[in-house]
Structure 1
Amino acid sequence: MMRRTLFKHTRSFTCFNVSIEAKRYMCWRGMTSLAEVLQPELDSIREAGTWKSERIISSAQSTMISLNDGRKVLNFCANNYLGLSDNKQVIEAAKEALDKYGAGLSSVRFICGTQNIHRELEKKLAVFHDREDAILYASCFDANAGIFETLLTPEDAILSDELNHASIIDGIRLCKAKKFRYKHRDMADLEAKLRESSGARLRLIATDGVFSMDGTVAPLPNIIYLAKKYDALTFVDDCHATGFFGKTGRGTEEYFDLLGNIDMINSTLGKALGGASGGYTVSKKPLIDLLRQRSRPYLFSNSLPPPVVATGIRVLDLISESSSFLKNLQHNTRLFRDKMTDAGFKISGDNHPISPVMLGDAKLASTFADKMLEKGIYVIGFSYPVVPKDKARIRVQISAAHTTEEIDRAVDAFVEIGKGLGVIC
């Protein structure tokens, strides 16, 4: 035994004494090899016209933003649906929390990372969604990564819309349940998959509430009907609905007058609810209790920073006290969609603030977006693999903070460039 141990230590010692020249050579060869492997793929992305450049912003998120080169442009591609990312009351709440609670907790929730404001926000979210309890995550991506693995076993089945968000897809991959993918918003195919999975212990239907690339809404009434018919559970990712969709902003459920009918909802603080970061799950208390005990992204991630928590609390108060933000957004959405349609553009979606201008060709979408920026309008072209091939578009996103004049200016730019590129007559 001693000889083996000594031999192992000797081998380790020998490895640590590799010459500096040899180490440099090995590092150089490894880096060169990796670059050689990756470069052709990077080149192909550029050649396809789908390279995603990150434009640098040097101001707060708002309808008017400053770019790093000094230009001021109108922003029509943020998830800042209610215009609250730079709201003075929201910013003040964050500053007060920073002074009182500090920058962060340096820990996870169950050790020493929970403050009274974390529980306050969770209670407010539960009340807002008319649920028993809520649990906060660092992001909705984490919430989606944490729920399926915790809840579902190999004896269960999950049925997912084929166009669900990447975070739902990745979360489903982590669980051991049998996986079924049904055609986008196709209830006949969903019902067929429910019949096929009849032997499962639990069946969970998972869908986005609003599909972010198209602005289309999941057919929740039909999904709920099928769930009850086949004794299945329902899950909705409502990131692109929470705070502004439905009569009082309670999301896709309320849009269909079905508040309280979905078994579990995941959503975000990073869009309409202040635009910072953070996600959450709302549901019945037993499920939330289980997530606190078993959900890995919750257990092994630092708790949300106090300023972020405070902004979420303040935003929920603001939208509960006044419907003006929601009314402005609805007005602006109708105005933009009507004017663009009248001009000859094809706008996808179901009267949602996500208003994709469909162009089809990836390079055309990229060129169009660049020309819009030259006109002082900040939009982004979306193409494969973010959206299906030959369905490239410019995804315009309307905010409650946009003025009528700003919307007119954006439409005028679309019309001028659209005629120049032959998109419209």
Structure 2
Amino acid sequence: MLKRCSLLFFILCYSLTQAQSISEKPQEPLQDSIKKKAFIKQLGNGFFPTKYWNFDLRYLIKYNQYEGVRTGIGGITNDDFSKKYRINSYVVYGFRDHRFKYSIGGGFRLAEKTNSWLNFAYTDDLQETGSTKFLTDKRFFQFFEPRLLNIDLFHKHITKSIALEHQISPKLLTETELAISKIAPTYNYSFNINGNSFQNFEISTAKIALQWSPFDVSEVTENESNEVINGYPKFTLQYTKSFSDVFKGDFNFSKLDFRTIYKIGNEKDAFSEITLVSGIASGDTPITHMYHAYPNNITKETILQRFSVAGLNSFETMYFNEFFSDKFATFQLKHFIKPFNISKRYKPQLVLITRYAIGDMKNPERHEGLTFGSLKKGYTESGFEINKLLFGFGLSFTYRYGAYHLPLFSDNVAFKFTFNVSL
């Protein structure tokens, strides 16, 4: 964590230095100011820009329970390299599993007006079992990802993919992907179908995702570029179909995933944020492609041993690998109290939180080697966060109650750090 904080401090100091430096060309202060704002915006998005290549800060250093320290380098070409073609890649190394992971990709623009791109990628890496990624998600960057620190259930995958990005309108984005993956769980697991047991398997999938933001507003800034002001609610829908006997695919299954995010109020004052996520998988679906409910609690005896960093949208009292589902839904309500105006720069904020999850699995006996429960009774936790107490750090307290309340009081409690920094 100290390494991550040092990296954060360095980047913040560098960006502030850039923003405050005196222009060598006083006759062009506006242009100079625009360049500095663009530089800081790139840092906020997780990129360190150079002339032709933007280094991706996500790959510098991370930590999880399987790889230990994970470090590397990666990035993507920028518009000065080409506005019609792009190359993106990364290479990282895990010091606990002693293994390199990498991705090589690129794309070319089909139509500028609709921002249509055809992309190709070859990836050899890890993915968290039970996680779902929406193709249309904008790139989301954190200086470190709190929940990643505690994850231990990963599967290896070698994936070849081709994808088409297309903007139907400024408020409706789509992406379609065809992919072939070789999957190898890093844990003891067998998927048993009609007496046939699979430890490693191949999956051929087609995905289509849509992201609809009906209340987004586009504004032309002083440098004549369009910037989008987020409006709510936002809706994301994704359908996945896996084919057996197509490019050696082993299983037939389908998945439908949905998410909506809604904010009520002014972010500079008191406001509420509601997030609803749901998914359903049908057919012969291995545990790697099932659902968890974003747990973030490690299985240790005492509260202090479980002390870590709270995630942004995770269930803080739910233990890792405690539940898996083939259909689930989660609801999260966060109410942000108006920041305490202690001083001009010191403004801690209290956030009240309630989370609920429900789910079930049709044939849990197919998944051999793992022990997990069902969410069919409904899982509930509530608590609060006090954010930005010192250098972006705060504290959170969450309590688990309802149908999955545990006998020992301490096992229902999660007490953690929070971390919130933005440029």
Which category describes the TM-score, using the shorter chain as reference length?
Answer: under 0.3
Larger radius of gyration: 1
Higher relative contact order (CA 8 A, sep 6+): 1
Where is the helix percentage greater, Structure 1 or Structure 2? Answer: 1
Where is the strand percentage greater, Structure 1 or Structure 2? Answer: 2
TM-score, L = length of structure 2: 0.24
